């Protein structure tokens, strides 16, 4: 069969300069280039968008009203596309009923297996589903969790009942006093001296009759223990029906905790009683999938043969992609971006579609160097099934497997948007482009390590796979936390370190700015300096130059666009006709600073504005953005158009001139080209030299080599991990035993 190509001619989305290229079908094509060079503009904004649009054209006008709208990309021609499936890092999200097992369609097959060969036999496969009334635990409706009292700080153990030991703020005075008047207790005995039976009666006793003393007389009353009473009053009722004041008073004592009936298993007692190989379905769903796979393979019943085959294949895909440490009952909302992307990949591997375009955005994120080969095998399998695989990637170990490479550049933003190289990996490594030059180099381990100025202790870390982990994070140095995926890095840093040291600032990839008026200038605060400079130069008030002021265009309220709501169609955004998208009133635009209006300034890139301004405070903030590799950004570009990596870097930029102590960064090299990593390192070093403490979770070996201190988690993922396997400098890590990271570090020096 002759090689077919996807043909693109004259593409001009965002910064693309009339780009034309051919992408071989049923091959792996990888797009490389510095961030902001235009990779996404080609792959997502041109190819994927056009494929979606063409697909939607096949539907009737009526159906199309319900589909997302795709504008035709700016290009002269885009031909020979197949259906596109974009596998991105958007988290899977989902409610608590969405788990790894449900989303990969493994759980339905497991349920079928139990309904066929489980003992004792209890019913159809619905009887094993926590999403079905037949199977769900009636106590928690299949949630596995229930609101309950989690604190007993409303008892003063050092007091007796007569001294007022029961202190629930929401109980009436007579209710508090009722415990002493019940006659069940020695009212002068301190609670700390109560026997377990007495304590149980005080907390959980229920519906016992006694005579309550009120106003000199007595009345028949029914005794309720403190927790029992509390639960009936505040938990069994909908919390939202309580007054706000009561909700606030009650909140510290209650939280979600495992359901007392099913112990978190979510299923009815009948379902939990049904077993295969001595295990019930909840126990199987809680196993790591690698162990579950071994168990399933042992099942020999002829009644189960087809289900065993399907389960072996689907669970096998999870193991092969490096997710062997997850369990089927893991809620999808708790998976990281990288894990979410790999789960989506698994779904597609099980699909029988062929001749599809699979589009991936940096699939190596979150993967330890040890596991990158698994990703590569997966990409190969998708191709070999007859699909076209298109990948945006920075990791040389992934780029190597490409059949064809397209390098976009030469630089970012307006200085990018060209194809600077097309060809094989061998040719790329000889090419004189930023990617070509950097692909062969790796940084040396640095020669001198900073001395810590103290330490931040993490004490008794005990979540997920961590068991009583104690570790010290040195202050005033750059610490890199390493380890394979699932080893416990995030659990240690995000869940425990941050809880124990809440002043630490997290700089992550989540979106910045909620207002449609936010942009890099407002976010970094340089907008305030611009306003002052314009005010000073023109002798007017600085507030005139704010998007939120009377100076803003009244028609679009300073957003520059008008949003039109169309009854049956998606709303559309059009540039404001009054200000032509310039966002300010004409009279404001008439005020100039060195010949530019405030709107002209907002249309500058960071780089252009660095050349334009001379004021020290302004230059400092602009330089910070340039230092984090964002000099191609337009100052007025809405923050909603920034990628995750760009969001993280702009947050970093706005911290650069502060001095706030402790920073936590999670995979800051995501979205960064090899040539940008040196830049990122110099910023992190600057922050540390200014006296800050940096804690970075990273797989990138160049970052690891630049650390002052390494904390390596492992030895492996899931239950095989959760320990600190190494603490020390990168040079010491080279010689460390039992560390997977050490092996890969040795290979790279
Ligand atoms: P890459 O994927 O190589 O990082 P992009 O294709 O995302 O680069 O971006 C190329 C250029 O286009 C950058 O200057 C970026 O800021 C700009 N850009 C991307 N999306 C938008 C958008 N929606 N609006 C305006 N500019 C954009
Ligand atoms: P890393 O950051 O090194 O990839 P994590 O700390 O995310 O590792 O995960 C360590 C272990 O804890 C893994 O087995 C993972 O599946 C489990 N885990 C992580 N987060 C959760 C969660 N929210 N609920 C249940 N298990 C979790
Ligand atoms: Zn339950
Ligand atoms: Zn306007």
- Which CATH number does the domain housing residue 599 bear? 1.20.1580.10
Q: Single out the residue in 419, 440, 461 at which a domain terminates.
A: 440
Largest CA distance in the chain: 102
Which one of the ligands is nearest to 408 CA? 1
Report H helices in 584-643. 586-589, 598-602, 606-612, 616-627
718 lines ligand 2 (CB under 6 A): yes
Q: Are 525 and 435 in a shared domain?
A: no
Please report whether residue 328 resides in a domain: no
CATH number, domain with residue 22: 3.40.50.300
Question: pLDDT, tens digit, for every residue of 83-99?
Answer: 999 887 777 767 778 89
What pTM did the predictor assign? 0.81
Q: Single out the residue in 641, 673, 698 at which a domain terminates.
A: 641
Please report whether residue 16 resides in a domain: yes
Please report whether residue 451 resides in a domain: yes
Please report whether residue 120 resides in a domain: yes
Q: Are 503 and 579 in a shared domain?
A: no
Q: In degrees, to the nearest 5, what angle opens at C-alpha 708 toward C-alphas 702 and 710?
A: 75
Q: Are 654 and 723 in a shared domain?
A: yes
Q: Are 632 and 530 in a shared domain?
A: yes
Please report whether residue 67 resides in a domain: yes
Q: Are 207 and 68 in a shared domain?
A: no
Which one of the ligands is nearest to 721 CA? 2
Quote the pLDDT of residue 513: 67
Which one of the ligands is nearest to 517 CA? 4
Cα dihedral value 530, 536, 542, 545, nearest 10? -50
Supply the residue whose CA is at minimum distance from atom 10 of ligand 2: 488
Report how many domains make up the chain. 5
| 566 pLDDT above the threshold of 60 | no
Range of the domain at 470: 443-512+644-748
Q: Are 137 and 265 in a shared domain?
A: yes
Please report whether residue 326 resides in a domain: no
Give the Å distance between the CA of 268 and the centre of ligand 3.
Answer: 7
37 lines ligand 1 (CB under 6 A): yes
Please report whether residue 366 resides in a domain: yes
Question: pLDDT, tens digit, for every residue of 234-292?
Answer: 887 766 777 888 888 888 888 888 898 999 999 999 999 999 999 999 999 999 999 99
Supply the residue whose CA is at minimum distance from atom 6 of ligand 1: 38
Q: Single out the residue in 606, 641, 676 at which a domain terminates.
A: 641
Residues 6+ apart with CB under 8 A from 679: 627, 628, 629
Quote the pLDDT of residue 514: 62
Round the CA-based radius of gyration of the chain to a whole number and report it: 31
Q: Are 202 and 235 in a shared domain?
A: yes
Q: Are 416 and 490 in a shared domain?
A: no
Contact of 702 with 468, CB cutoff 8 Å: no
- ipTM of the predicted assembly exceeds 0.90: yes
Q: How far apart are CA 635 and CA 150, in angstroms?
A: 49
Quote the pLDDT of residue 26: 97
Q: Are 599 and 533 in a shared domain?
A: yes
Q: Are 161 and 201 in a shared domain?
A: yes
CATH number, domain with residue 196: 1.10.8.280
User: How buried is residue 76: exposed, middle or buried, by Cβ count under 10 Å (0-12/13-18/19+)?
Assistant: exposed
40 lines ligand 1 (CB under 6 A): yes
What is the token pair recorded at 408?
A: 């976009």
Question: pLDDT, tens digit, for every residue of 214-235?
Answer: 777 788 888 999 998 888 888 8
Q: Are 524 and 630 in a shared domain?
A: yes
Helix H or strand E encompassing 529? helix 526-538
Question: pLDDT, tens digit, for every residue of 350-368?
Answer: 777 788 999 999 999 888 9
Q: Are 114 and 152 in a shared domain?
A: no
Stretch 334-351: mean pLDDT: 82
Q: Sorting pLDDT into bands at 50, 70 and 90, what band is 567?
A: low
Please report whether residue 391 resides in a domain: yes
Q: How far apart are CA 373 and CA 368, in angstroms?
A: 10
């Amino acid at each position: 069969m002759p090689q077919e190509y996807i043909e693109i001619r004259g593409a001009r989305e965002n910064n693309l300069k009339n780009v034309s290229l051919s992408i071989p079908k049923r091959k792996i094509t990888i797009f490389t280039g510095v961030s902001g060079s235009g990779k996404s503009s080609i792959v997502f904004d041109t190819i994927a968008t056009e494929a979606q649009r063409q697909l939607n054209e096949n539907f009737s006008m009526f159906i199309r009203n319900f589909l997302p709208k795709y504008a035709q990309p700016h290009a002269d021609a885009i031909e020979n596309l197949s259906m596109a499936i974009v596998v991105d890092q958007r988290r899977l999200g989902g409610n608590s009923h969405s788990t790894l097992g449900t989303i990969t369609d493994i759980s339905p097959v497991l349920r079928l297996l139990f309904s066929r060969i489980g003992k004792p036999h209890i019913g159809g496969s619905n009887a094993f589903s926590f999403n079905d009334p037949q199977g769900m635990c009636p106590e928690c409706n299949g949630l596995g969790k229930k609101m309950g009292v989690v604190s007993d700080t409303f008892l003063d153990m050092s007091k007796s009942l007569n001294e007022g030991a029961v202190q629930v703020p929401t109980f009436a005075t007579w209710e508090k006093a009722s415990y002493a008047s019940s006659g069940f207790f020695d009212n002068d005995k301190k609670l700390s001296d109560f026997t377990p039976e007495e304590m149980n009666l005080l907390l959980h006793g229920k519906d016992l009759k006694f005579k309550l003393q009120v106003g000199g007389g007595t009345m028949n009353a029914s005794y309720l223990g403190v927790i029992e009473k509390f639960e009936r009053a505040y938990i069994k009722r909908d919390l939202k029906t309580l007054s706000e004041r009561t909700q606030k008073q009650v909140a510290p004592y209650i939280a979600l905790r495992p359901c007392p009936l099913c112990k978190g298993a979510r299923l009815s007692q009948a379902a939990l009683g049904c077993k295969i190989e001595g295990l019930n379905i909840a126990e199987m769903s809680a196993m790591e999938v690698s162990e579950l796979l071994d168990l399933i393979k042992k099942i020999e019943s002829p009644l189960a043969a087809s289900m065993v085959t399907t389960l072996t294949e689907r669970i096998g895909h999870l193991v092969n992609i490096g997710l062997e440490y997850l369990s089927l009952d893991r809620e999808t909302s708790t998976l990281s971006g990288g894990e979410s992307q790999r789960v989506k990949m698994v779904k597609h591997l099980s699909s029988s579609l062929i001749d599809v375009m699979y589009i991936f955005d940096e699939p190596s994120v979150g993967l330890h160097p040890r596991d990158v080969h698994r990703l590569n095998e997966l990409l190969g399998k998708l191709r070999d099934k007859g699909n076209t695989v298109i990948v945006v990637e920075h990791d040389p170990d992934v780029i190597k497997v490409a059949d064809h490479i397209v390098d976009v550049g030469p630089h970012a933003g307006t200085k990018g948007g060209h194809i600077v190289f097309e060809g094989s990996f061998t040719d790329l490594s000889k090419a004189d482009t930023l990617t070509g030059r950097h692909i062969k180099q790796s940084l040396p381990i640095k020669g001198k390590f900073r001395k810590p100025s103290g330490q931040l202790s993490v004490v008794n870390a005990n979540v997920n796979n961590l068991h009583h982990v104690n570790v010290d994070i040195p202050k005033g140095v750059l610490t890199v936390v390493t380890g394979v995926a699932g080893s416990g890095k995030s659990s240690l840093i995000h869940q425990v370190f941050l809880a124990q040291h809440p002043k630490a600032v997290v700089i992550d990839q989540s979106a910045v700015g909620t207002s449609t008026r936010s942009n890099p200038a407002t976010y970094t605060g340089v907008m305030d300096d611009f306003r002052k400079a314009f005010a000073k130069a023109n002798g007017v008030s600085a507030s005139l130059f704010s998007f939120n002021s009377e100076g803003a265009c009244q028609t679009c309220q300073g957003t520059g666009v008008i949003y039109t709501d169309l009854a049956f169609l998606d709303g559309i955004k059009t540039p404001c006709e009054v200000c032509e998208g310039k966002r300010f009133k004409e009279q404001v635009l008439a005020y100039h600073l060195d010949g530019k209006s405030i709107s002209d300034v907002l249309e500058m890139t960071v780089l252009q504005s660095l050349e334009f301004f001379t004021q020290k405070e302004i230059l400092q903030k602009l330089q910070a953005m340039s230092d984090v590799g964002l000099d191609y950004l337009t100052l007025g570009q809405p923050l909603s158009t920034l990628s995750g990596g760009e969001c993280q870097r702009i947050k970093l930029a706005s911290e650069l001139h502060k001095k706030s102590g402790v920073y936590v960064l999670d995979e800051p090299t995501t979205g960064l080209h090899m040539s940008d990593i040196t830049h990122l390192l110099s910023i992190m070093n600057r922050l540390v030299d200014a006296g800050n403490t940096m804690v970075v979770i990273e797989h990138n070996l160049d970052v690891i080599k630049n650390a002052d201190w390494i904390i390596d988690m492992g030895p492996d993922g899931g239950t095989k991990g959760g320990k600190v396997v190494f603490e020390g400098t990168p040079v010491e890590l080279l010689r460390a035993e039992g560390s997977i990271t050490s092996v890969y570090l040795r290979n790279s020096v």
